[in-house]
Amino acid sequence: MMRRNKMCGILNLTESRLATYPLTLYRPIASLPFCSRYRLIDLPLTNLTTAGVETIGVFTHDNLRSIYDHVRSGKEWGLDSIHGGLFFFSDPGTDGNRNGVNHEGDIYNYFNNIAFFDKSESEYTVIMGTRMLCNIDVKAVLRHHIEQGAEITVVYKSTSVQDNEDKNASCLTIDEDGHVRGLKSCGMSESKGQLFINMDIYILKTELVTKLIRNAVAENEHCNLNDVLHQAIVNLPSNGFEYTGYLRNINSVEAYYQANMDMLEERNMTALLKGSQSIHTKVKNEAPTFYSRSSDVEDSLVANGCIIHGEVAHSVIFRNVTIEKNTVVNSSIIMQGSSIGSGAELHYVILDKQVRIEPNTKLIGTKNKPIVIEKNSVISRISEGVTSEMAQMKSQENRVNKQDVDTLFTHK
Amino acid sequence: MCGRGWSHHSFPRMMKNEMIAMILAGGQGSRLGKLTRTIAKPAVPFGGKYRIIDFSLSNCSNSGIRTVGVVTQYQPLELNSHIGNGSHWGLDHKEGGVTILQPHSSLDGEKWFQGTAHAIYQNIGYIDSHNPTYLLILSGDHIYKMDYEHMLNFHKRKKASATVAVVHVPLTDASRFGIMNTDNTDRIIDFEEKPAMPKSNLASMGIYIFTWEVLRRYLVESHATGQNMDDFGKNVIPTFLANGENVFAYSFGGYWKDVGTIESLWEANMAFINPDHELNIRDKSWRIYSKNPVAPPHYLASGAKVKESLIVDGCYISGEINHSIISQNVKIGANTVIKDSIVMANTVIGKNVTIDHAIVGEHAVFANNAQVIGDQSIEVVGYNEIVGGLNDETE
Best mutation site among A76, A289, A300 for testing chain B: the one with the most B CBs within 10 Å?
A289
How confident is the model at residue B102, as a pLDDT? 85
End-to-end, the C-alpha distance of chain B in Å comes to 80
**Nearest-10 crossing angle of helices A206-218, A225-235:** 110
Candidate from B288, B296, B303 with C-beta closest to A298: B303
Q: What is the pLDDT of residue B394?
A: 47
DSSP state of A400: B
Assess contact for A55 and A85: CB atoms under 8 A. Answer: yes
By the CB < 8 Å criterion, does B49 face chain A? Answer: yes
8 A C-beta contact, residue A142 and residue A51: yes
Of B48, B49, B307, the CB nearest to A293: B307
Is B316 in contact with A266 (Cβ distance < 8 A)? yes
How much is the pLDDT for A155?
A: 96
Nearest CA in chain B to A37: B297
Mutate to test the interface with A, among B61, B311, B316, B318 (most CBs of A within 10 A): B311
Tally the residues of chain A.
412
Residue type, B59: N
Q: Which tens digits make up the pLDDT trace of B13-71?
A: 444 579 999 999 987 778 888 888 888 899 999 999 999 999 999 999 999 999 999 99
Nearest beta carbon to residue B287 from set A278, A280, A285:
A285
Smallest Cα distance from B311 to chain A, Å: 5
Which residue of chain B has the CA closest to A293?
B307
Residues of chain A falling short of pLDDT 50: 1, 94-96, 98, 100, 383-385, 398-412
Query: Which residues in chain A (2-61) have CB-CB distances under 8 A to chain B?
Result: 35-37
> Which positions 243-302 of A are in contact with B (Cβ < 8 Å)?
264, 266, 269, 273-274, 278-281, 283-285, 287-293, 295-302
Model pLDDT, residue A81: 80
B296 interfacial to chain A (CB closer than 8 Å): yes
pLDDT at B389: 74
| Residue B127 near residue B120 (C-beta atoms within 8 A) | yes
Q: In this predicted structure, what is the pLDDT of residue B149?
A: 95
Q: Identify the band that residue B392 occupies on the pLDDT scale cut at 50, 70 and 90.
A: low
Give the nearest partner residue to B300 out of A281, A284, A300, using CB atoms.
A300
Interatomic CA distance for residues A228 and A236, integer angstroms: 12
Neighbours of B161 (CB within 10 A): 21
CA distance B51 to B41: 9
Q: Cα(B236)–Cα(B289) distance, rounded to whole angstroms?
A: 32
User: Rounded CA gap, A234 and A198, in Å?
Assistant: 12
Count other Cβ atoms within 10 Å, centred on residue A65: 11
- Asked if B307's CB is within 8 angstroms of A292's CB, the reply is yes
pLDDT at B393 over 70: no
Say what the pLDDT of residue A15 is: 82
Structure ipTM: 0.88
Which residue of chain A comes nearest to B294, CA vs CA? A280
Decide if A132 touches B, using CB distance below 8 A: no
Q: Return the SS3 of A69.
A: helix
User: A-chain residues within 8 Å CB-CB of B321?
Assistant: 291
Q: Is A39 helix (H, G, I), strand (E, B) or coil?
A: strand
SS (H, E, C) A302-358: ECCCCEECCEEECCEECCCCEECCCCEEECCEECCCCEECCCCEEECEEECCCCEEC
User: For residue A221, how many other CB atoms are within 10 A of its CB?
Assistant: 15
Mean pLDDT over the full length of chain B: 89
Tell me which amino acid residue B276 is.
D
Judged by average pLDDT, the poorest of A255-269, B104-118, B149-163, B173-187 is: B104-118
Q: Report the C-alpha gap between A97 and A108 in whole angstroms.
A: 16
Question: Rounded to an integer, what distance in angstroms lies between the CA atom of residue A21 and that of residue A30?
Answer: 14
ω into residue B45 within 30 of 0, thus cis?
no
Higher pLDDT, B229 or A294: A294
First to last CA, chain A: 67
Span B277-316, pLDDT tens digits: 999 999 999 999 999 888 999 999 999 999 999 999 999 9
In chain A, residues with a C-beta closer than 8 Å to the C-beta of B47 are 287-288
Question: Touching check for B143 and chain A: CB below 8 Å?
Answer: no
DSSP string, A170-237: EEEEE-TTSBEEEEEEGGGS-SSSEEEEEEEEEEEEHHHHHHHHHHHHHTT----HHHHHHHHHHHS-
Give pLDDT, residue A20.
87
Residue of B nearest to A280 (CA): B294
- Contact flag A269-B299 (C-beta cutoff 8 Å): yes
Give the Cα-Cα-Cα angle A34, A38, A40 (nearest 5 degrees).
Answer: 65
**Tens digit of pLDDT for each residue in B85-139?**
898 998 888 778 899 998 876 666 666 778 889 999 999 999 999 999 999 999 8
Q: How far is the C-alpha of B207 from the C-alpha of B192, rounded, in Å?
A: 16
